[in-house]
Amino acid sequence: GVLQSAAKVSSERARREELEEALVIDEMTTAFNFRYLNKWLSAAAEDQMALLFMDIDDFSIFNNTYGHAEGDEVLRVLVETINKSVRTDDKVIRYGGDEFVVLLNGMDGEGAMRVAQRIMGNLGSVRRANWKEPITVSMGIASAPRDARDKHQLLLFADQAMYAAKGAGKNTIQMWNAEKDPA
């Protein structure tokens, strides 16, 4: 009886963990979702980490040209490419639409820049016969503790750096710079 009860509890615990994980995974891309990001934002801050915030350049034009099914494929390919470009412990999160966040624990801004460059390089080699243009992204980087200690502020700064990258001509990476864009 005791062994049966223990097995049942273990089975129920495993099922609950599967369900909890399903709640934080974006079904289409298999990246973590906004719910996961909110959970991360409410947890204690890490001592050192970097955050990438990226947006697919001209995604609405791509969707209008090739259709939403191909746009969905771009999202999947992007997540796959990011996952191949980062460490297994790093977290890829679909922020919403065509915006993604990558959490890089224990990494400083310079390390994050190397990761961002690797992502862009790997993305540049992705080709599909029916896509005339390559997929490009604009990325912003912020790091703790250099730029901010508060996670919400870190996310905001990486987002603002991403918009600076868009403003600099897209398909580029910008580090958060408080002197250029004080918040």
Identify which has the larger pLDDT, 168 or 183.
168
Residues acting as catalytic residues: 98
pLDDT of residue 179: 66
pLDDT of residue 133: 85
pLDDT of residue 23: 73
| Contact predicate 123/137, CB 8 Å | yes
Tell me the per-residue pLDDT of 72-93, one tens digit each, with 9 for 90 and over: 999 999 999 999 999 999 999 9
Task: Identify the three-state secondary structure at position 160.
Answer: helix
pLDDT of residue 21: 61
pLDDT of residue 137: 98
H or E stretch at 3: helix 2-23
Task: Identify the three-state secondary structure at position 156.
Answer: helix
Partners of residue 102 on adjacent β-strands? 52, 92
Tell me the per-residue pLDDT of 11-64, one tens digit each, with 9 for 90 and over: 666 655 555 565 789 989 999 999 999 999 999 888 899 999 999 999 999 999
pLDDT of residue 72: 95
Dump the DSSP string for 93-124.
Answer: EEEETTEEEEEEET--HHHHHHHHHHHHHHHH
pTM: 0.86
